[in-house]
Amino acid sequence: MNFLKKIILLNYHISQIFFWKEFKYIVNEFFSNIEKTSNLRKFLKKNIKFEKKKNNVSFSFKNTFLFSSNLGLFIINESQIQKIFAGDVHGVSICKDVVFFSVFTGIHSSIIKAKLIRNKLSFELREKERILSFETLYGNERIHGLSFDKETGNLCFANTQRNSICYVDINKKKIVNEIFIMKDKTGLSISSDHNHVNSVNCINNFVLFTCHSGSVGIKKRGGSLVGFTDKKKIFFFKTTNRGVHDINLISNDLYICDSFGNYKTYTGRLLRNGKPFMENLLRRFSSNYMLRGLGISGNEFLIGCSYINPDRSLRKKNSGGLIFMCEKNIFFKKLQSSQINEIKCVNDKDVRVGKANLLKIFEKSFGKCIYQQEIEKNFISKKINLI
């Protein structure tokens, strides 16, 4: 009798929401998450290969780039784009022929390690394994930027969910260190998505990073924070506009994406040493997009354009694209993917820099350091529930 009552009650609740517009959203989200999880499971099995269809581009680069998007991980070689993983991918990093990328299934974020293999005119990923996975229920919580630390052999990632930078031992498959980037006035580490740390870049003994929000002293729309840590102390600098992404140091030039601009007079820009770079060329392509994802090698630039809408649920309803730029030659390629997340050059050259010089570069770009913070020594997170 109790069982019959439960069945009747369940039918009653279903009938109450069946014609409600939220129900359609819940069902679509459910099936989308099932598909993403299924794709990840198939991919991690041996000998499962994803499509080798190629998309031609009327612009050729000498270098090879990887880019991540809401529809997968792609590789650009000369004038061809090829998908090498199907799924919702955010962070991507590469060391020699080993690729690391973060996958979001709608319930969890996972970090995948795979070997990049060139096979005739195609690329594929082999020797695949999942090195980390934990619960991230919302899009803003997912694992964001990745960077391989060649000094320690660990993988660094922006743990946006906990406002921190984490180090993963890729052999032991566990987090070995977590640096919380911000403390409150009582000295307690802020361990929720407060500043939205989104990009990291390991350069010898330093980690460069960007935060979407939190510039000290700027009210209303606020600004962003950029900075670096030597793993003993964190150095913060402010930018005028909220929402910066990506941070690249090429020689002594520091590049970031001012993704949204100032919301009023202009859209997103690429900044070099804090000043607009190639602004007139980029402006005609970025009016309907935010700039996110930046790959640089020599005089070749690959810049991601993501469709932007204040309503997050509508951001995947339109297409994104890529800007190919080499000196004053520029080309825009529209893509099916609406969100371009990270871009990395496959043959990235090592950059070496000392602390004094790094401080000068940041000060030249953003003015004086606005805040410094000591880091707890060898803090190891105990609160992330890994699966």
- Contacts of 108-112 with C-beta under 8 Å, sequence gap 24+, read 108/133, 108/134, 108/135, 108/136, 108/387, 109/133, 109/134, 109/136, 109/141, 109/142, 109/143, 110/40, 111/143, 111/146, 111/155, 111/157, 111/168, 112/40, 112/43, 112/44, 112/85
- Confidence (pLDDT) at 180: 93
Q: Is the pTM of this model over 0.85?
A: yes
Using a 10 angstrom Cβ sphere, with 0-12 exposed, 13-18 middle and 19 or more buried, the burial of residue 80 is middle
Alpha carbons 249 and 243: distance in angstroms, whole number: 19
- Confidence (pLDDT) at 47: 56
Which residue stretches of the chain are H helix? 2-17, 21-44, 279-283, 355-366
- The C-alpha angle 51, 56, 62, rounded to 5 degrees, equals 105
Considering only CA atoms, which of 289, 227, 236, 226 is closest in space to residue 259? 289
Alpha carbons 134 and 386: distance in angstroms, whole number: 5
Q: Which residues does the chain have with pLDDT short of 50?
A: 217, 381-383
DSSP 187: S
Considering only CA atoms, which of 253, 196, 201, 250 is closest in space to residue 228? 201
Alpha carbons 130 and 170: distance in angstroms, whole number: 10
- Confidence (pLDDT) at 382: 45
Supply 332's token pair: 């825009």
For residues 281 and 328, the answer to whether their CB atoms sit within 8 Å is yes
Supply 4's token pair: 């019959």
Q: From the CB of residue 116, how many other CB atoms can be counted at a distance below 10 Å?
A: 19
Alpha carbons 270 and 276: distance in angstroms, whole number: 6
Supply 137's token pair: 């229920």
- Confidence (pLDDT) at 52: 57
DSSP 386: B
Question: Which residue type occupies 289?
Answer: Y
